[in-house]
Structure 1
Amino acid sequence: MSSNIIPKEQLSAYQRWELNSLDGSARTTVPLPTAEEVENIQQQAYQEGFAAGYQEGKGKVDAELARLAQLMSALGGALNQFDETLTQNLLSLALDVAKQMLREALRVRPELVLPVIREAVSGLPQANQHPHLKLHPDDAALVRSLMADELSHFHWKLIEDSRVERGGCRVETTNSEIDATMENRWERILVALGREGAWLE
């Protein structure tokens, strides 16, 4: 059995360790902070923490304000779109109601075609004579009975045309034509309102 003891001659340089004296002469003393220094440290830590919290909070507030501004902008756009849609829907409803009321008025009071005829004829150039009035057969019979004097005096000729809807007429001469049909008059109203549509829809 081999020995684990190393002879002194084989040992390399070494340093001897010794326990320090217990009387305190060799101890390093760490100075403790004074109450004023502790207070200064606390004040500095508070100010640094406050500044860091303020910057972090300001960043969050700025981000929230930017998000709110974006939401308000989107809401404004949505409200504008809603207003436009509502306006268009109300206009469509008003036009539908007007069309139905006009049709009902012409059914109840078919003589409303008379001012339409007079207005159309007055739009002809003065040089034109003897216009031909194209009317729905039912309107033609009404005009013969209510405008007999004017027909005779101005030499207006009535032509029955079932393609002309009641309440409207076409006035034709050799050189000109005026379309006062319900379809054409309704289309002019829609164009004035920036809309499209047909009288018979």
Structure 2
Amino acid sequence: MKNQKVYALHDVKGIYVLQSIGYQSKSYPDGETVARKVNDEEERLKTLEIAKDEAYKKGRLDAEQDFKLEIEKIKSECASLTALFQNAVNQLIDKREKIWQESESEIIKLILTISNKMVGEGISNHGKDVIKYVVKEALSHVCGKKIVAVRVSPDDAKKINLLEEVKVVDQNIKILEDGTITSGGCVIETDFGSVDCQIETRWEEIRKALVENKNESAVR
């Protein structure tokens, strides 16, 4: 806007003097300037919005990365704990096997001792039936061979008539009392040798079988 002259009235010694002074009128932005400012503001807002989105994305990526790192850390710790647990289990298994190997022989002896005692009590209570069964079984192993004699303990020889009880066809077989044979056992003598059916002999066979099985397991 152009300067305009404005006159002011001054009183100088009773005389009013009219003096002109310069006056700058207030200017207003034109439409182009306003449009430019609006555009600049819009650009600034867009820049802020982009920066906001980028910051959000970066924050999310950082959070995801931190989460992944935490998951990997937990997995690593779990793997370590699993390895420790498996190692402890393996040690327990090895210890158990070692204890078993060290005590297996004693356990076998204990089992045989207890079983032998139980069998002995069974023989004492049912001696007659036991000796009959043992003699019958022994005779079944010598089929086709000539039986010379059956040796039994003195107690069993007094309890029953074996030849009648076991229904032996050849009544010429001798029943011999043998003080070395314990009750419930017998020895069959044939023309080809003898068959030992004593309780002690059977227990020894069982013991040997258990020991052999133990040794085979140790080799495996």
Which TM-score band applies after superposition, normalised by the shorter structure?
0.5 to 0.7
Asked if the contact 2:127–2:184 (Cα under 8 Å) also holds between the matched residues in 1, the reply is: yes
Structure with bigger strand share is 2
AA in 1 matched with 2:176:
I
Is 1:37 the counterpart of 2:51? The answer is: yes
Question: 1:19 maps to which residue?
Answer: none
Letter in 1 for 2:132: L
Q: 1:146 is matched by which residue type in structure 2?
A: N
Instruction: Please state whether the residue corresponding to 2:58 is helix, strand or coil.
Output: helix
Q: Are 2:195 and 1:178 equivalent residues in the alignment?
A: yes
TM-score, L = length of structure 1: 0.57
Matched, 1:118 2:136: yes
SS in 2 for 1:101: helix
Q: Is the 8 A contact 1:151 1:157 kept in 2?
A: no
Letter in 2 for 1:166: S
Maintained 8 Å contact 1:135/1:161: yes
Shift of 1:153: 4.2
How far the C-alpha of 1:60 sits from its partner, in A, is 2.7
Is 1:160–2:177 an aligned residue pair?
Answer: yes
Structure 1 stretches of 4+ moved >6 Å: 79-83, 88-94
Aligned pairs for 1:4-83 (under 5 A) are 34=48, 36-37=50-51, 40-41=54-55, 43-65=57-79, 67-68=81-82, 71=85, 75=89, 78=92
Is the Cα–Cα contact under 8 Å of residues 185 and 199 in structure 2 kept in the other structure? yes
> What secondary structure, in the 3-state scheme, does the structure 1 residue paired with 2:175 have?
strand
Structure 2 length-normalised TM = 0.53
Q: Is the contact between residue 117 and residue 169 of structure 1 (CA under 8 Å) also seen in structure 2?
A: yes
Q: Judging changes above 3 Å, is the alpha-carbon distance between structure 1 residues 157 and 94 closer, same or farther for their aligned structure 2 residues?
A: same
| SS of structure 1 residue aligned to 2:73 | helix
Structure 1 unaligned segments of length 5 or more: list them: 1-32, 197-201
Residues 1:135 and 2:149 are matched in the alignment: no
What is the CA–CA distance in structure 2 between the aligned matches of 1:186 and 1:105, rounded to whole Å? 15
State the shift of 1:186 in Å. 2.7
**2-side partners of 1:117 and 1:124: how far apart?**
11
How much identity, in percent, do the aligned residues show?
20
* Equivalent residues in 2 for 1:74-93, closer than 5 Å: 75=89, 78=92
Task: Report the Cα distance in structure 2 between the residues aligned to 1:49 and 1:92, rounded to whole angstroms.
Answer: 68
In 2, Cα distance between equivalents of 1:50 and 1:179: 83
Verify the 8 A CA contact 1:136 1:164 in the aligned structure 2.
yes
Amino acid paired to 1:124: V
Q: Distance in 2 between matches of 1:135 and 1:42?
A: 102
Q: Which residue of 1 aligns with 2:30?
A: none
Q: Which amino acid aligns with 1:157?
A: K
Q: Secondary structure at the match of 1:154?
A: coil
Larger relative helix fraction: 2
Aligned partner of residue 172 in structure 1, secondary structure: strand
Q: Contact 2:127–2:156 (CA<8 Å) still a contact in 1?
A: yes
- The one-letter amino acid paired with 1:168 is G
> Aligned-pair RMSD on alpha carbons?
4.1
Structure ID, larger Rg: 2
Could you say what secondary structure the match of 1:134 adopts? strand
Q: Distance in 1 between the 2:84 and 2:208 partners?
A: 38
Change beyond 3 A, Cα 1:52–1:92? farther
Contact 2:187–2:194 (CA<8 Å) still a contact in 1? yes
Aligned residues: 157
